[in-house]
Amino acid sequence: MFVLGVDPGLSRCGYCVLRTDGRRSVPVALGVLRTAPSDPTPNRLAELVGDIRQLLSEFSPQSLAIERVLFQVNVRTAMSVGQAAGVVMAEAAGRGMDVVEYSPNEVKGAVAGYGGADKEQVQKMVQLLLDLPEPPRPADAADAAAVALAHVAIAGAYTSRVAAR
């Protein structure tokens, strides 16, 4: 099974495609999609949709796990992150994929064991859980991997409970 984890953003959108059997997860694609801040927002959103379509076509993930935007100090940043998240979710839902949102605290709790973990702790845990030689960089890629890992952990726990009934 493939899971696509996304840390949404318009300038930098982190992504991680995990192949998982529920017990072991292996990253098959990990990185950041970038758009130029100097370009008009509609063009940037179109570019992001094109990049996401390419990932979805190449890997055919069953699920999209995306970090929910809860709070941003800068309203302009919050708007662009929300727009980016919206186009990514719409593209995945339009393909019939399961789309699941996780709060930052849910992601940190699932990956680091503590909802208040800092960025470095999350990066280190992603490194350990995925058996990577070093923490993923930039942080957007690590955050996307953490979202994908959280989905595997949370959805797997839910599936196990349902199957046990």
Q: Which domains does the chain have, with CATH numbers?
A: 2-164 (3.30.420.10)
139 has pLDDT over 80: yes
Q: Decide if 118 is catalytic.
A: no
162 has pLDDT over 50: no
109 has pLDDT over 60: yes
Q: Decide if 143 is catalytic.
A: no
Active-site position among 7, 91, 106, 143: 7
Q: How much is the pTM?
A: 0.91
pLDDT value of position 73? 65
- When comparing pLDDT for 135 and 163, which is higher? 135
Q: DSSP state, 113?
A: S
**Half-sphere exposure of residue 46: CA atoms within 13 angstroms, side-chain side:** 5
Q: Decide if 67 is catalytic.
A: yes
Q: DSSP state, 88?
A: H
pLDDT value of position 18? 96
72 has pLDDT over 70: no
157 has pLDDT over 70: no
Sign (positive or negative) of CA dihedral 92, 96, 98, 99: positive
pLDDT, average across residues 49-75: 89
Active-site position among 91, 106, 140, 143: 140
Active-site position among 51, 67, 91, 98: 67
